[in-house]
């Protein structure tokens, strides 16, 4: 059976799609609060090291596997290692992104709710307690978050339904530039606030006194999450890349944009947090419970600017979240189309209902289902922990092992060098291959064990 496979239009389009997948809630919502909780500049330095030495090799491995086979995770594993158990890993990476997509869509839904609140000027956040209460009341109610969640999921499914080139590529090409423009505007505004300097210092002056193993495992988890690694997203997108595209450039472009965006997001959020006199270590509620207060405080002097900044901010979160969430859904769609002969529409519909069920449980776990605990945590936190701490790390580990030890070395070389054979190309390849084969798996394994033990 040969089905004509979809492709991205160009190398730049592939970078835009992957960077849009990478840039998301991970950069705007997760990165600033993680940096806030784990020591500011020191965390950022470790994060950069993890991105380069641990995450980049996984990204290259996923790219090599995906483009070599031109198939989604399950199909790629079966094609490159026929008759082995590796293909079951394909299945694992189909299930993982769907779990992520379910809880991710709940947060995506919150951004719709907050965008609506900003548009209707209905924030009442005269104090920090007030805005924390607004968030707690909103997230724990039944219908508001549920409706926003379904809306968010529907937007994603419509884009994925339109296909790789007409849906994903078009949307990603637009969002990349839109997101960068918005975050820079918000950063400039935030830096202009009185008292913002303390926030800048926090992000640039490292303090290595509180370095614990937890900081390392969190930095690694964050770099995997932010680059969409370990679940086959990058693998699937790479399977749509042309054979002439340079994988190393695509990977460097994606990781570079993602990192720059995360750092700018840090500089957009932390100075505002410090200017308002809020502690940076707030945790996950940082942007939803503290930023509306900051926006409202600005409103005392200029209500229109405050409303505008708040609308732009939540719009940006929404767009960033959508362009990431579609990349998770596409992994499952590719699997159903390739392995079970589904049409794109049938595949999207099936996944929509699956995510609807799991996501609704995650959404309700902030309200009526708050008492339902799995391994001591709420359904939402369980899905987050299970995927971020275990499944993604495990998936990433298996990808580097597959590319480094199972695949034919010459095929890996061909993919990474596009057949170039100069000394420079082979030196770079030698270094990348060393990272893929030894450094990345050993360090990830060590951190994985620490995670299991703690």
Residues that bind ligand TRP (CB under 6 A): 21-22, 24-27, 97, 100, 225-226, 228, 231, 233, 324, 327-328, 392
Q: Report, in Å, the least distance between residue 20 CB and ligand TRP.
A: 9
Nearer to ligand TRP, 73 or 306 (CB): 73
Q: Report, in Å, the least distance between residue 321 CB and ligand TRP.
A: 7
Question: Residue 188: is it exposed, middle or buried by C-beta count within 10 angstroms (0-12/13-18/19+)?
Answer: exposed
CA distance 298 to 280: 19
Q: For tokens 């483009």, what's the residue?
A: 67
C-alpha 246: how far from its chain's center? Answer: 23
Q: Which residues pair with 374 in a beta bridge?
A: 377
Q: Report, in Å, the least distance between residue 100 CB and ligand TRP.
A: 5
Instruction: Please spell the DSSP secondary structure of 268-284, one letter per residue.
Output: HHHHHHHHTT--S---T
Nearer to ligand TRP, 264 or 296 (CB): 264
Under a CB-based contact definition with an 8 Å cutoff, are residues 42 and 194 in contact?
no
Indicate the residue whose CB is closest to ligand TRP: 26
CA 292, 298, 299, 304 dihedral sign is negative
Nearer to ligand TRP, 226 or 415 (CB): 226
Q: For tokens 């549920």, what's the residue?
A: 146
**Under the phi-then-psi rule, with left for phi > 0, alpha for psi from -120 to 50, and beta for the rest, what region is 376?**
left
CA 58, 61, 65, 68 dihedral sign is positive
Q: How many CB atoms lie within 10 A of CB 365?
A: 25
Q: Report, in Å, the least distance between residue 125 CB and ligand TRP.
A: 25
Nearer to ligand TRP, 22 or 298 (CB): 22
Q: Report, in Å, the least distance between residue 323 CB and ligand TRP.
A: 9
Q: Report, in Å, the least distance between residue 21 CB and ligand TRP.
A: 5
The SS3 of residue 374 is strand
Nearer to ligand TRP, 261 or 267 (CB): 261
Under a CB-based contact definition with an 8 Å cutoff, are residues 333 and 344 in contact?
yes
CA distance 159 to 314: 20
Nearer to ligand TRP, 231 or 444 (CB): 231
Q: For tokens 């947090």, what's the residue?
A: 273
Q: Report, in Å, the least distance between residue 344 CB and ligand TRP.
A: 19
Nearer to ligand TRP, 106 or 125 (CB): 106
Nearer to ligand TRP, 273 or 328 (CB): 328
Q: Report, in Å, the least distance between residue 233 CB and ligand TRP.
A: 4
Nearer to ligand TRP, 73 or 196 (CB): 73
DSSP letter at 1 equals -
Q: Report, in Å, the least distance between residue 197 CB and ligand TRP.
A: 28
Nearer to ligand TRP, 100 or 287 (CB): 100
333-342 burial, b for 16+ CB within 10 Å, e for fewer? Answer: bbbbbbbeeb
Q: What are phi and psi of 169, to 5 degrees?
A: -65, -45
What contacts 444, CB < 8 A, 6 or more positions away?
Answer: 54, 220, 393, 396, 397, 400
Q: Report, in Å, the least distance between residue 160 CB and ligand TRP.
A: 13
Q: For tokens 């490292």, what's the residue?
A: 206
């Amino acid at each position: 059976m040969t089905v004509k496979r979809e492709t991205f239009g160009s190398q730049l389009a592939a970078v835009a799609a992957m960077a849009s997948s990478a840039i998301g809630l991970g950069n705007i919502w997760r990165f600033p609060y993680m940096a806030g909780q784990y020591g500011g500049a020191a965390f950022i330095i470790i994060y950069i090291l993890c991105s380069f030495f641990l995450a980049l090799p996984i990204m290259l491995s996923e790219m090599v596997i995906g483009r070599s086979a031109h198939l989604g995770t399950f199909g790629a594993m079966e094609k490159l290692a026929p008759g082995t158990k590796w293909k079951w890993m394909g299945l694992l990476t189909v299930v993982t992104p769907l779990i992520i997509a379910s809880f991710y869509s709940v947060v995506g839904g919150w951004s719709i709710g907050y965008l609506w609140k900003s548009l209707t000027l209905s924030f009442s956040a005269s104090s920090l307690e007030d805005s924390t209460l607004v968030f707690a009341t909103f997230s724990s109610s039944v219908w508001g978050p549920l409706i926003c969640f379904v809306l968010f999921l529907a937007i994603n499914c419509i884009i994925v339904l339109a296909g790789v080139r007409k849906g994903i590529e078009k949307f990603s090409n637009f969002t990349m530039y839109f997101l960068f423009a918005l975050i820079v505007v918000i950063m400039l505004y935030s830096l202009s606030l009185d008292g913002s300097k303390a926030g800048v210092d926090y992000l640039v002056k490292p303090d290595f006194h509180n370095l614990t193993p937890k900081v390392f495992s969190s930095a690694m988890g964050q770099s995997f999450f932010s680059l969409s690694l370990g679940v086959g997203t990058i693998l699937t997108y790479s399977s749509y890349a042309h054979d002439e595209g340079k994988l190393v450039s695509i990977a460097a472009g994606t990781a570079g944009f993602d990192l720059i965006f995360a750092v700018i997001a840090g500089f957009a959020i932390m100075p505002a947090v410090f200017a308002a006199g809020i502690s940076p270590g707030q945790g996950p509620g940082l942007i939803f419970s503290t930023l509306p207060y900051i926006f409202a405080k600005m409103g005392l002097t200029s209500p229109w600017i405050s409303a505008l900044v708040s609308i732009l901010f939540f719009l940006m979160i929404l767009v960033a979240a959508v362009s990431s969430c579609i990349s998770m859904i596409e992994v499952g769609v590719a699997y159903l189309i390739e392995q079970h002969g589904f049409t794109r529409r049938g595949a999207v519909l099936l996944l929509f209902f699956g995510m609807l069920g799991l996501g609704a449980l995650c959404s309700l776990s902030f309200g009526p289902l708050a008492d339902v605990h799995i391994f001591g945590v709420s359904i939402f936190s369980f899905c987050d922990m299970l995927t971020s701490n275990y499944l993604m790390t495990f998936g990433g580990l298996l990808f580097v092992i597959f590319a480094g030890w199972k695949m034919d070395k010459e095929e890996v070389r061909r993919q990474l060098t596009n057949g170039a054979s100069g000394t420079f190309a082979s030196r770079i390849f030698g270094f990348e291959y060393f990272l893929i084969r030894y450094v990345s798996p050993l360090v990830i394994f060590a951190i994985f064990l620490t995670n299991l033990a703690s």
